[in-house]
Copies of this chain bind each other. A is one copy, B any other.
Amino acid sequence: MPATPTTLTTLTTLDEATPAALHPVLRPLPPLTAAGARLLDAASELFYERGVRAVGVDLIADTAGTTKKTLYDRFGSKDALVALYLLRRAHRWREFLLARLADAPAAGPDRAGSPDGTRVLLVFDALEAWMGGQRRGCAFVNAYAELGGTDHPAVPVVRAEKAWMRALFDVLTGDAGLGAHVHLLYEGTLVVLTAGAGATAAVDARRAVEVALAG
């Protein structure tokens, strides 16, 4: 029984998928001052590329062209900055994804025999475009790997993001079992794209999704 509420599984249509209304952890982003925005930008890139614990606040402040003082005035702590980094990334990924899905024909749920290029496959297309050949994988999985055993404020953000993706696949497929199957493929694809030895993960994933939808 997770600490965060799981009202997400009641999601039934894409229109309800505005994250803030669905999950208190996925609150709207706070406004940022000029230096604050530079700090969050610098921190986001450094955190993603090198890991959360490997990046110190001095480096963040220097990269942003500002000072530690300003960092702590704006964000209060490094932990809060980490949580905000993941929160903003989750928002941006959802916007990126929903914008692509909004252009889809999107009649009924995606099942066997639906028109080619189902919305589920669009998610995997979006994932590939989002990743763009990067080798650092899923920011949420990475952060959880570093912080999972703690009560760090970023942990519930990670769980909320994963729950939202699962709920999205449930909606797109109209079937909880199928949604779970595709969600497992989605998470597996992210891992193999990153730490896998072969380069065929993307095409493997597409074929697997097609098999799952046809089953």
Contacts and interface: CB of A to CB of B under 8 A. Distances in A.
* Copies, count: 2
B197 A160 contact: yes
Interface string A129-160: 00000011100111111111100000000111
Contact of A208 (B2, B9, B212): B212
A196 B162 contact: yes
A215 interface: yes
A108 to B, nearest CB: 20
B146 A137 contact: no
Nearest to A2: B197
B159 A135 contact: no
A211 interface: yes
A189 B184 contact: yes
A128 interface: no
In the complex, which of the residues A51, A137, A197, A211 has the most CB atoms of chain B within 10 Å of its own CB atom? A197
A187 B192 contact: yes
A184 B185 contact: yes
Interface string A2-31: 101010110000000000000000000000
Contacts of A69: none
A181 B207 contact: yes
Contacts of A149: 49-51, 135-136
Contacts of A147: 51
A214 interface: yes
Contacts of A119: none
Interface stretch (A76-84, A87-95, A198-206): A198-206
Contact of A184 (B8, B146, B192): B192
Interface of A: 1-2, 4, 6, 8-9, 49-51, 53-54, 135-137, 140-149, 158-160, 162-163, 166, 177, 180-181, 183-192, 194-201, 204-205, 207-208, 211-212, 214-215
